[in-house]
């Protein structure tokens, strides 16, 4: 069990640029989640995949955000035309199916700074 | 809808003293409850969970939490803290069958030597 990994760990970008983050879940986990955490707050849910299907999206996920999990393994989160309000820590989590499906294991996060 | 309230944003405590971090939730349906810990410059780690069964759950590093349905609480306790326990602690809830965790705003525990 190598844990959830995320790349890059830090990203600084100028307003208006596009950015893409990658998440590699724990290998046997079918479920994958994206959350956003701003300073002084707890993580907030963005979206959820079961295998390659995106089954749930939060209202926080505006049209500028898109997430994919094309082969049911790694996932990418893209933000187009970044805004300063997008600055946050983006967290990925995964969980297995079955009785432990509610146990979400988090990666280290990608910290995005939009200047 | 679910919500989680962590009443204390910061808790300073001396080393070897006991500590309680409070968490209350609101939900009209049954829920699962979690405590996550975030050490400086690290990701969230699952500390302990309540899914069903015994209302008192324990972690491997001496923390425990008790699910109290009547008071809708899931407070985290440790009888004697160590310097290494300094971290941010998040309480989270998920409705049975749902997919997204709802987190509190976190409690920063600072252990003073």
For a pLDDT cut of 70, what percent of chain A falls above it?
98
C-alpha atoms less than 13 angstroms from C-alpha of A65 in its C-beta half-sphere: 18
The answer to whether B3 faces chain A, any CB pair under 8 Å, is no
Mutation for testing the B interface, residue in A102, A106, A110 having most B CBs under 10 Å = A102
Q: What pLDDT is attached to residue A1? A: 54
Nearest to B90 by CA among B68, B109, B71: B109
CA dist B64 and B58 (Å) reads 4
The answer to whether B7 faces chain A, any CB pair under 8 Å, is no
Per-residue pLDDT of chain B (113 residues; tens, 9 = 90+): 678 999 899 999 999 999 999 999 987 778 899 999 999 888 899 999 998 888 888 888 899 999 998 899 999 999 999 999 999 999 999 887 788 899 999 999 999 99
The answer to whether A96 faces chain B, any CB pair under 8 Å, is no
The answer to whether B103 faces chain A, any CB pair under 8 Å, is yes
What pairs with residue B107 in β-bridges?
A: B89
For chain B, positions 11-50, list CB contacts with chain A under 8 A. 32, 34, 36, 42-46, 49
Using the beta-carbon criterion (under 8 Å), do A104 and B46 form an inter-chain contact?
A: yes
């Amino acid at each position: 069990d190598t844990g959830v990994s995320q790349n890059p760990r830090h990203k600084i970008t100028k307003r208006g640029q596009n950015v893409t983050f990658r998440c590699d879940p724990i290998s046997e986990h079918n479920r994958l989640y994206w959350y956003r955490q701003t300073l002084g707050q707890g993580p907030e849910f963005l979206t959820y995949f079961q295998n390659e299907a995106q089954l749930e999206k939060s209202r926080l996920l505006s049209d500028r955000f898109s997430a994919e999990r094309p082969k049911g393994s790694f996932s990418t989160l893209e933000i187009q035309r970044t805004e300063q309000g997008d600055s946050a820590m983006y967290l990925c989590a995964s969980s297995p199916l079955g009785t432990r499906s509610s146990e979400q294991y988090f990666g280290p996060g990608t910290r995005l700074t939009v200047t | 809808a679910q919500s989680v309230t962590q009443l204390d944003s910061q808790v300073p405590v001396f080393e070897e003293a006991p500590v309680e971090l409070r968490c209350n939730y609101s939900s009209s349906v049954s829920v699962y409850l979690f405590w996550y810990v975030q050490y400086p410059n690290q990701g969230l780690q699952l500390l302990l969970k309540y899914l069903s069964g015994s209302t008192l759950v324990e972690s491997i590093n001496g923390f425990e939490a008790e699910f109290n349905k009547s008071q809708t609480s899931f407070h985290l306790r440790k009888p004697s803290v160590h310097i290494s326990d300094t971290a941010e602690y998040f309480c989270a809830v998920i409705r049975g069958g749902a997919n997204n965790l709802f987190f509190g705003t976190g409690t920063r525990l600072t252990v003073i030597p």
